[in-house]
Protein backbone atom coordinates (compact mmCIF):
# COMPACT_ATOMS: atom_id res chain seq x y z
CA UNK A 1 0.00 0.00 0.00
CA UNK A 2 2.84 2.46 0.73
CA UNK A 3 2.47 5.72 2.59
CA UNK A 4 -0.91 7.40 2.78
CA UNK A 5 -1.01 11.21 2.76
CA UNK A 6 -4.15 13.29 3.05
CA UNK A 7 -4.96 16.99 2.72
CA UNK A 8 -6.43 18.14 6.06
CA UNK A 9 -7.51 21.33 7.75
CA UNK A 10 -6.26 21.78 11.32
CA UNK A 11 -7.73 24.51 13.49
CA UNK A 12 -8.13 26.01 16.92
CA UNK A 13 -7.47 29.77 17.06
CA UNK A 14 -6.09 29.79 13.51
CA UNK A 15 -6.60 27.36 10.64
CA UNK A 16 -4.00 25.65 8.45
CA UNK A 17 -4.41 23.35 5.45
CA UNK A 18 -1.61 20.85 4.94
CA UNK A 19 -0.82 17.37 3.73
CA UNK A 20 -0.20 14.91 6.57
CA UNK A 21 0.92 11.31 6.83
CA UNK A 22 -1.87 8.96 7.95
CA UNK A 23 -0.19 6.50 10.31
CA UNK A 24 -2.33 3.57 11.46
CA UNK A 25 0.51 2.48 13.79
CA UNK A 26 0.26 5.78 15.71
CA UNK A 27 -2.38 6.38 18.36
CA UNK A 28 -2.42 10.19 18.39
CA UNK A 29 -1.86 13.01 15.93
CA UNK A 30 1.64 14.50 16.02
CA UNK A 31 2.70 18.06 15.17
CA UNK A 32 5.94 20.03 15.47
CA UNK A 33 5.85 22.88 18.03
CA UNK A 34 6.06 25.60 15.36
CA UNK A 35 2.86 24.41 13.68
CA UNK A 36 1.07 23.96 17.02
CA UNK A 37 2.02 27.56 17.85
CA UNK A 38 0.77 28.88 14.47
CA UNK A 39 -2.62 27.19 14.96
CA UNK A 40 -2.88 28.35 18.58
CA UNK A 41 -3.33 24.86 19.96
CA UNK A 42 -3.97 24.87 23.72
CA UNK A 43 -1.09 22.97 25.30
CA UNK A 44 -0.74 21.03 28.52
CA UNK A 45 2.09 23.32 29.68
CA UNK A 46 4.41 20.54 30.74
CA UNK A 47 6.00 17.41 29.34
CA UNK A 48 4.13 14.83 31.38
CA UNK A 49 3.10 12.31 28.72
CA UNK A 50 5.62 9.58 27.85
CA UNK A 51 5.69 8.13 24.31
CA UNK A 52 7.86 5.54 22.62
CA UNK A 53 9.27 6.67 19.28
CA UNK A 54 9.64 4.34 16.33
CA UNK A 55 13.37 3.96 17.14
CA UNK A 56 12.44 2.64 20.61
CA UNK A 57 13.44 5.80 22.48
CA UNK A 58 11.03 6.98 25.20
CA UNK A 59 10.50 10.73 25.52
CA UNK A 60 8.33 13.02 27.61
CA UNK A 61 6.12 15.20 25.40
CA UNK A 62 3.65 18.01 25.67
CA UNK A 63 0.09 17.41 24.47
CA UNK A 64 -2.72 19.58 23.21
CA UNK A 65 -6.02 19.54 21.34
CA UNK A 66 -6.82 20.30 17.72
CA UNK A 67 -9.88 20.25 15.46
CA UNK A 68 -9.32 18.13 12.34
CA UNK A 69 -11.38 18.47 9.17
CA UNK A 70 -11.10 15.98 6.31
CA UNK A 71 -13.51 16.18 3.39
CA UNK A 72 -16.16 17.93 5.50
CA UNK A 73 -15.86 15.55 8.48
CA UNK A 74 -14.75 17.37 11.62
CA UNK A 75 -13.68 16.11 15.04
CA UNK A 76 -11.45 17.08 17.98
CA UNK A 77 -8.27 15.09 18.53
CA UNK A 78 -5.40 14.82 20.97
CA UNK A 79 -2.11 15.99 19.50
CA UNK A 80 1.41 15.20 20.66
CA UNK A 81 3.74 18.15 20.20
CA UNK A 82 7.15 16.81 19.23
CA UNK A 83 10.23 18.69 18.06
CA UNK A 84 11.25 17.76 14.50
CA UNK A 85 8.14 15.66 13.93
CA UNK A 86 6.46 15.16 10.57
CA UNK A 87 2.76 16.09 10.89
CA UNK A 88 0.73 12.89 11.09
CA UNK A 89 -2.69 11.55 12.00
CA UNK A 90 -3.08 8.50 14.21
CA UNK A 91 -6.02 6.18 14.73
CA UNK A 92 -7.65 8.28 17.47
CA UNK A 93 -8.26 11.05 14.92
CA UNK A 94 -9.42 8.60 12.25
CA UNK A 95 -11.91 6.99 14.63
CA UNK A 96 -13.21 10.39 15.71
CA UNK A 97 -13.71 11.32 12.06
CA UNK A 98 -15.35 7.97 11.29
CA UNK A 99 -12.71 7.06 8.70
CA UNK A 100 -10.39 4.15 7.96
CA UNK A 101 -7.64 3.51 5.44
CA UNK A 102 -8.64 1.22 2.59
CA UNK A 103 -5.50 -0.91 2.12
CA UNK A 104 -6.38 -1.65 -1.51
CA UNK A 105 -6.66 1.97 -2.62
CA UNK A 106 -4.74 3.88 0.06
CA UNK A 107 -7.74 6.20 0.41
CA UNK A 108 -9.66 7.21 3.54
CA UNK A 109 -13.26 6.04 3.64
CA UNK A 110 -16.06 5.42 6.16
CA UNK A 111 -15.84 1.92 7.70
CA UNK A 112 -19.55 1.44 7.04
CA UNK A 113 -22.21 3.17 5.00
CA UNK A 114 -23.83 4.84 8.05
CA UNK A 115 -23.18 5.38 11.73
CA UNK A 116 -26.75 5.70 13.00
CA UNK A 117 -29.86 4.80 11.10
CA UNK A 118 -33.34 5.69 12.34
Q: What is the pLDDT of residues 36-48, one digit of tens each?
A: 999 999 988 888 8
Give, rounded to a whole angstrom, the gap between the first and last alpha carbons of the chain. 36
pTM: 0.86
Q: Let me know: does 36 contact 79? Beta carbons within 8 Å.
A: yes
Domains of the chain plus CATH, in order, are 4-109 (2.40.70.10)
Judged by DSSP in three states, 111 sits in coil
Mean pLDDT estimate for the chain: 90
Q: What is the pLDDT of residues 48-71, one digit of tens each?
A: 888 888 889 999 999 999 999 999
pLDDT for 46: 80
Amino acid sequence: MGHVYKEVKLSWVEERKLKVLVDTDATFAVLPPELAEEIGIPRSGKRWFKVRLVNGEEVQVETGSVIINIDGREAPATVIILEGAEPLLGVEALEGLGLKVNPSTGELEPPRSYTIRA
